[in-house]
Structure formats: structure tokens, C-alpha cells
């Protein structure tokens, strides 16, 4: 069964609250630290701890920035330190500088893509707020570090927890003004308001004084949300709470609920199908485009031979994906193929419950995909395992395949 994360944003949402909530849900802290270290980004240390918020025990995650040339040493049971040992040649980074930092991540491509998507949402909102082209939006270097860490941490933890769907509650926001490097701005600040408006997020105003939804928090909510409503029935697996730094009359925590649908062994998911007709792309170009789409998170990609006007032979390229990956996959289609337009429409997919297992056969170990429907189980040996054994032993494909299914059934 797919995992659904419900973000209950009754006290707004920010980057550090989201990371704390995901760590409280069980995301692996060591996996996160290793991923962040791979970016080789200096000048900060991480705080991991617990915090009492109105009697609630919440996870307290913070990114502490360090003065240039100084290192703050903390108990490693609570913090993870980086030294800032060299001066920076410039004081600002643009979106593409940040993309280069994210590309250094030692993790899967879809994690990098999700992090880039969140930062792009912030940059587009800032560009609109300040009336600038996207490439001219700059993030102050010191201020950008905590945003990079927060956003990348969210992408890493979401992947680590195996979350497939995210539902976001209305975002609670305060009122008044906040002070920043641009001056005194109204709440919600323009960048946050632009994200909420552009991505169709729901907003609920409260009587709290001050900002409750940060631009980073709004971008996280926009990028993660894959569905608007919770399933009719679900099983609550775990609750995580990330602590905020401000004091309100209610508990300032972001609560995340990890859910699992319980209707049956099949689950209906809303996906998108994107299609485009190609009559001037080479075979190599089509192969690379498919490879890049699958690496970026597409659920499936396929080609269908067709005939276009003037009876020209061509291919229809079809891509099945989630809403959260649609924009990124459209970018790949537009840049890596010769398409000048893409059709899309929503579809419902019912998928069997599935898991991967390894079974021992007389020919060696084989990976098996086990699918279940009601009281029946189906066993599908993985091609790469069968291929490897055939090349190593000289056995024929059918013999190894049937032996693997037999072993799995036993």
C-alpha cells in the first residue's frame, strides 16, 4: 500500500518545521547528514533535538549559520558541524548557482529534481514580487544556505520515508508586518502570497501576529502536494511533529500524519498522461528522452508507431506521471525531443499491492516482484536477474524464468 503524508498546517509551515516533522516520522538522520555533506556546502551546523511546545513533545531542527572564519563546536549528539574555512568570492547566488550545488548531491535524480522544483517555485515567486526576470533573482549567500539545507533535507527525507502521496491542509497565516532586507513587508509576504496564488493552495487567516507561512514553507507545500483530499478511509501509521521557533497562543508545530489506505489490496491513484507526436526525432534522441524521463520520476514511458499528415511515419510518445513530476517532465520533453506541443489529460490508475523479494533458485539468487490481489499472489521475476543468470550460466531464459517463479511460489 502506498504511503500518504497529511500535512496539518494549523500553525503554518516553514522549512525547519517540515524537516523536524519528517525526522520525527522516522526519516534516517544519518542518511540526511551524509546527503548534505555530499554538497560540500560550508558555513553552517545542524541542530537536532526535542522541544516542549505547549506540553507537546516535538522534534526541533534548526540550521545555524556560522560567522566567516569561525566554527562553532557542539555536542555531536545534538549537532552536526561544518567549518567555514575560506572566503566566498561573491555574496549572492542565483537559481542556477543553487542548482549546481544541488547537482553535487550523492542521491537519486528524482530527489535532486524535487529539491530544484522547490527552489524554482521560490525563485519564480520572488521574480514576480520584484518585477525581475528569473535569471536576475539573487539569494543573499548567507540567507540562502539555510534555505538550501531545509529544501534539500525535505527532498531527502521524503524519499527516505518512501512517501508517494501528499495532502496539504489549508495554510494558517498570521497578520501584520515582518522586517527583512527589502524593508517592512505585509503578511503574507509577497513571495508567499504569489506561491499560494499560483499553486492553488488554500489559505486561512488567524489572529496571530506575525508570519506563519514562509516562502520556503509555501514552496514545500506546493511541490509536495499530489492530491487535494484524503482517502475515504485510511490507517494512521505514525505522527510526527516539527517545532516552530515563534510563540503563538496555540502549539506552534507542524504535524504530519503518515497514512495508509485500507479499502482493499488495490489503490486508485490519479495520474497524468502526456502525449506528443514526433516525426523528426532520431532513434537515439527518442531513446535518450525516454531514459531521462524515467530517471526523473515518470511512472512509465512508451512509444506508439503512427502516421501523420502527408502519410509520414512517426511515433506518439506517451508519459504516465504524477502531478508533482508533471512540470519537470514537460521541461525534459520540450528540451530533449523535437516536440512543439504536448497534450495532457488526467487518468485513474488502480495498482496492485507489491513488494520486491529475493529468492534462491538452483541457478542463483533472483529478484521477484510479488503482487497481491485479494487472496491471490502473483510472482514476476525481474528481467535483469534472469538476464544475469543466463549470461553467467549459459542457461536459456525460459528455464531460469520458470524456475524462479516456482521457487517464489514455494
Report whether pLDDT(210) > 80.
yes
Single out the residue of 1, 7, 40, 16 nearest to residue 246, CA to CA. Answer: 16
pLDDT digits 0-9 by tens, 25-81: 999 999 999 999 999 988 889 999 999 999 999 999 999 887 543 333 333 334 454
With b meaning 16 or more CB within 10 Å and e meaning fewer, what string describes 128-156?
bbeeeeeeebbbeebebbbbbbbbbbbbb
Handedness of CA 132, 136, 140, 146 (dihedral sign): positive
Name the grid cell of 121.
517555485
Contact (CB, 8 A) for 20 and 59: yes
**Mean pLDDT value across the chain:** 87
Among the residues of 199-298, which ranges form H helices? 215-224, 283-295
Q: What average pLDDT does range 255-276 have in this prediction?
A: 79
This prediction's pTM:
0.62
CB 328 within 8 Å of CB 113: yes
Cα(310)–Cα(41) distance, rounded to whole angstroms?
55
Share of the chain above pLDDT 70, in %: 90
Q: What is the pLDDT of residues 319-367, one digit of tens each?
A: 999 988 899 999 999 999 999 999 999 998 888 888 888 888 888 888 9
pLDDT of residue 81: 47
How much is the pLDDT for 80? 54
Q: Helix crossing, 283-295 with 323-336: angle to 10°?
A: 160
| pLDDT of 137 | 78
Amino acid at each position: 500500500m502506498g504511503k500518504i503524508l497529511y500535512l496539518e498546517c494549523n500553525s503554518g509551515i516553514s522549512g525547519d518545521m517540515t524537516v523536524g516533522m519528517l525526522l520525527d516520522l522516522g526519516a534516517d538522520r544519518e542518511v540526511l547528514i551524509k546527503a548534505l555533506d555530499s554538497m560540500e556546502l560550508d558555513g553552517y551546523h545542524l541542530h537536532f533535538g526535542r522541544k516542549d511546545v505547549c506540553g507537546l513533545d516535538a522534534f526541533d531542527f534548526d540550521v545555524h549559520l556560522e560567522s566567516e572564519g569561525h566554527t562553532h563546536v557542539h555536542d555531536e549528539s545534538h549537532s552536526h558541524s561544518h567549518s567555514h574555512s575560506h572566503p566566498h568570492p561573491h555574496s549572492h547566488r542565483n537559481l542556477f548557482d543553487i542548482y549546481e550545488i544541488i547537482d553535487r548531491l550523492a542521491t537519486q535524480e528524482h530527489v535532486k529534481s524535487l529539491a530544484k522544483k522547490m527552489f524554482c517555485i521560490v525563485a519564480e515567486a520572488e521574480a514576480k514580487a520584484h518585477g525581475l526576470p528569473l535569471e536576475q533573482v539573487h539569494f543573499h549567500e548567507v540567507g540562502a544556505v539555510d534555505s538550501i539545507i531545509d529544501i534539500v533535507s525535505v527532498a531527502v527525507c521524503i524519499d527516505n520515508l518512501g512517501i508517494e502521496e501528499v495532502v496539504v491542509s489549508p495554510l494558517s497565516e498570521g497578520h501584520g508586518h515582518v522586517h527583512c532586507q527589502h524593508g517592512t513587508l505585509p503578511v503574507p509576504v509577497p513571495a508567499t502570497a504569489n506561491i499560494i496564488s499560483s499553486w492553488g493552495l488554500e489559505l486561512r487567516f488567524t489572529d496571530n501576529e506575525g508570519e506563519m507561512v514562509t516562502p520556503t514553507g509555501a514552496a514545500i507545500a506546493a511541490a509536495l502536494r499530489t492530491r487535494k483530499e484524503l482517502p475515504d478511509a485510511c490507517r494512521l501509521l505514525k505522527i510526527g511533529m516539527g517545532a516552530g521557533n515563534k510563540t503563538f497562543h496555540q502549539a506552534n508545530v507542524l504535524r504530519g500524519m503518515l497514512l495508509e489506505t485500507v479499502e482493499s489490496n488495490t489503490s486508485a491513484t490519479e495520474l497524468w498522461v502526456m502525449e506528443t507526436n514526433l516525426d523528426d526525432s532520431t532513434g537515439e534522441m527518442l531513446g535518450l528522452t525516454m531514459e531521462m524521463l524515467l530517471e526523473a520520476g515518470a511512472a512509465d514511458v512508451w512509444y506508439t508507431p503512427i502516421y501523420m499528415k502527408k502519410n509520414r511515419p512517426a511515433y506518439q510518445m506517451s508519459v504516465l506521471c504524477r502531478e508533482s513530476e508533471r512540470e519537470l517532465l514537460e521541461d525534459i520533453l520540450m528540451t530533449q525531443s523535437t516536440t512543439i506541443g504536448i497534450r495532457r489529460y488526467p487518468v485513474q490508475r488502480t495498482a496492485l499491492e507489491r513488494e520486491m523479494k529475493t529468492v534462491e533458485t538452483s541457478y542463483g539468487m533472483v529478484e521477484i516482484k510479488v503482487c497481491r490481489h485479494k487472496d491471490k499472489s502473483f510472482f514476476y521475476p525481474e528481467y535483469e536477474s534472469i538476464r544475469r543468470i543466463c549470461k553467467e550460466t549459459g542457461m536459456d531464459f525460459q528455464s531460469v524464468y520458470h524456475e524462479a517463479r516456482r521457487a517464489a511460489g514455494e
